[in-house]
Chains A and B, each alone.
Chain A
Amino acid sequence: DGGITQSPKYLFRKEGQNVTLSCEQNLNHDAMYWYRQDPGQGLRLIYYSQIVNDFQKGDIAEGYSVSREKKESFPLTVTSAQKNPTAFYLCASNPQSTDTQYFGPGTRLTVL
């Protein structure tokens, strides 16, 4: 099946620890994105990548890092520098031909 997968679905982390969220797609999409959603709020862009080995900061990149070594994969690391990391993290992608983005099922991160 084609699609976007994110793992894990739920993640718990202690304060001060880095954690990496996985995002994989087999849709052959060029662009990939990471968003964060907090309760009652819209999605906010963390990082995006339009081609392999290149990525750009979004609106709230502080405390996060990404890599794009392969077209299919765009992992997000939440570092200890992120002050309020508890949130729902969504990965998305779209092909070059359209601006419609498709989302993975999300990872819910809780910092204890």
Chain B
Amino acid sequence: DAKTTQPTSMDCAEGRAANLPCNHSTISGNEYVYWYRQIHSQGPQYIIHGLKNNETNEMASLIITEDRKSSTLILPHATLRDTAVYYCIVRPNRDDKIIFGKGTRLHILP
């Protein structure tokens, strides 16, 4: 029973902002939204997480809607190295497990 829904794949032009949507309409009050990515043949890599406020770090920005039922990961200036599968995950902050879905395959086009 998937907790998140993401598009299977997306394209983005190099240098443009990549906006990756995630639907989590059944999110609970104590659940955070996490994003990981997996570059081909590598292990997943943590990107960012948030509860209800928008978050930004050196890799990306996370925009969470006011009702918390959806969010968007933003890569502000996509490069070819951002080509990867991006996973949106919801989990309580003190839960010891991460359950991955199938993610969005992002293609950055030169």
Do A and B share a complex? no
* B residues apposed to A, CB below 8 Å: none
